[in-house]
Structure 1
Amino acid sequence: MRRSPRTLLALFLGFLLVVALALAFLPTYQSSTDSAGQVRVSQVDTSAYPEIAIYTAVSDAAGDLQTGLTRTDFQIIEDGTPVDLTGFVGPGGTSISTALVIDRSGSMGDAGKIDGARNAADAFVALLRPDDQAALISFNSDVQTVKPFSSDQDALQAAIDRLHPDGGTALYDSIIEAVDLLHNQPGRRVLLVLTDGQDCRDSSDCPAEFGSSHSLDEAIDYARSAGQPVYVVGLGEQGGRDHAGIDESVLRQIATGTDGAYYYSPDASDLAGLYTTLAGNLQGEYRLTYLSPRPFYDGTRRDIQVLAAGVSGGAGYTEYHLINVTSNPLVGLALLLPLLGLLGLPGLLAHRRGRDLPLPDPIASDPACLAAESAIAAPAPPDPVAALRCVQCDAPLRPGAKFCGGCGATQPSQPPPERRTFCDMCGCPLAPGALRCRECGEPVVQR
């Protein structure tokens, strides 16, 4: 049935209305800020799934951290279902592992940037508590782990002081390197990146070969799949893809795409204060644990809402334990190969079974049977001329004639021709009157 244009327009408008209403009532679990304060979820740890660990900070209306809340002040909701806390750790009770990623490209030698970066990293390391650890990664055209995770502040600061500017900018590769370094660290994991420019891969200011081998999207996806937020600090002059300086749109994309945060420092002298504030904020977080109300290995996303002190914030996570082929293709391949083997097993067995059984027509394919057939001396058929002549007058006869057409004499009946027989077991031809097959020895069934 053909609908009128007016009817189609009404249906389309109705569809838009339904979509708008659905979007209006969808839950949004982001950090919320109002006159009462703010709740920010900084990390969701699913390494012990179905137990989930949430790291969150709560601030008041003035922006000051609230560090005196108790277990009863928090409520967690996953996908609309309230859950009970299985663990609660207040501020200062959780160890923190921080990967300090510092740009040491040639441009960091300008305007005291590298000195400011060293001072900021030194200030951060000086605030490490006994259970905290930090690692140092530097990048220019290449990425280098200068100091693996350590709680030795003197060794870390000595490694920081050895940083010198030179070369291009491989920002995206440094993020992937830091995610790998943080992967097996327990507790709170922090990835803090400082840069004053753009990755040479996407910049018109330096050759692409001095940049990353991975793209921006690959770096973001890699960090997000590992559940690793990235905190990015942009230093110095604001630029863009067409001129030197930091490309804030890219840095914000990295931060928001990984549920991290972006900070801007126009002057290198401000970095130490910024890093000190960040260290204090990290040490003021709460660690809340609970059991997921849907403890299934189904690869689906779960949304989390945290309520405390009259405000709420939220985040989400994806259950990756089903088959995480994206993060490790070798695991997926190892699981796939046995399945392919099982699929091909019936055909292999059928082929082998068919090879072991006798073929129905061995004369066309079995050389042994061909040789056996040629070795059997088949009886010569009677001479058609002698067999088809009258016994009285030697006149020619038609095949099957009972009387001679010339003299009328009665003709003897001719014996039927011998029929060739074959072995029931192997299919090879049998000699006339044979009691056993000369190839396989099977007794001949007389019919």
Structure 2
Amino acid sequence: MSKPKIYLKRKSTEPDGQLYLYYSYGGKSRLIFYTGFRINNSYYNENYWSGNKKPINKKCAYHENYNRLFEEMKLYAVSLVVNEKIFDNNELKSRLSEEFKASKIEEPTVTDFVAGDFISYCEYVQSERKQGKRSIVNGNRQGMNYKPNSLRNPGTTITSLREFAKFKKKNSFTFDEIDVKFYNSYRDYLLNEKKRKISTFSTRVRDIKAFMHEALDEGVHTNSEFKNKRFIAPKYDSTGIALTLEEIKKIKDADIPDEWDHVRDLFLIACYSALRFSDFSKLEITDIDDGFIRIKQEKTENRVSIPIMKEMKSVLAKYGGVFPPPCTNQHFNRTIKKVCALKSVGLDRVYEINDLGEKIMWSSKITSHTGRRSYATNMFKLGVPTLLIMSATGHKKEEMFLRYIKATNEEKSRLLADWMDKLGI
């Protein structure tokens, strides 16, 4: 069984060609799936797999978007064959089409902005970020290009601003209108009219302030009202949950359907390592060195060394010391919710009642990020110093790390008492 590859099918007389997913998955069985995309021939890396490259090269302004999407397609194809034992070409094509039918690469077309128009400027900046013409101003990746994931929230913020303008019966907002009055009106719109969470509002405000800062630095406007202390991105407690060590063990020991076993094991690896999905889904045996997982994190590009727990060793032993087969994030999140809802796991219960009186089950709150949050919280509850846990999670700021911790004040007080006993004070 060979690894799936992306091939470019083209005619010599045409400047572009169609991109296909090829996968030889046993005997004479061979999947040939049209991804739905065409690309300029010069953007494709011939035999990219032999040189450990990506199929779409950096000459393409959207290479990161394409390569990320094709990687998800390849992982999903492997998951269907290896984990769900699907060996029928027609069914494979059908499942791939269903999974990726809404996929598209949003190519920026904005080349300028309307003077004085805030939303128009935001769209212009966003398009330049996508094309790699604007780099990150602050943070660990300062001076580097934006990654697709980091462009999602600003894009959603622009859409939200367009909807808010329509709600206010306007076409847009001028830079001078972005003041405390705008802030209060937008807050009321999101929280009361649209029923969004405070975390959503905080993200929207953060993006608006970033766009306003960028425009101010470029001399596009002179309005400093967005710096007002009342124009703030409110801090909030994360609504994500963390599992206790006992809950993790129940998931580990439960009898579940064979086709879900690899997802359960990937989830356990996340609980035992604090890795994000973008990292634990792509681990290879070469990432293990002398009892540590040593990788460069996909999101932050920080290098971390994570000691391998005994519990993780028992998971890896099921696969001969290597990692479970990968899958897409969508497939992972759907499946781990199903796993946690099983009676054999015995953990599902009503988590909360929403505004409509509907029951929200605990299992529906489990995602690929729950493992990372659980690791941080459990290490904290065991009394491991914060800075040592941060060396595994890759956090640079303690304030950001502490948002992961799901410990009650009583638990924190008991930890403090334990340390006082150890110190004899």
TM-score range, shorter chain: under 0.3
Higher RCO structure (Cα 8 Å, ≥6 apart): 1
Give the structure-1-normalised TM-score: 0.21
The structure carrying a bigger helix percent of its residues is: 2
Question: Bigger radius of gyration, 1 or 2?
Answer: 1
The structure carrying a bigger strand percent of its residues is: 1
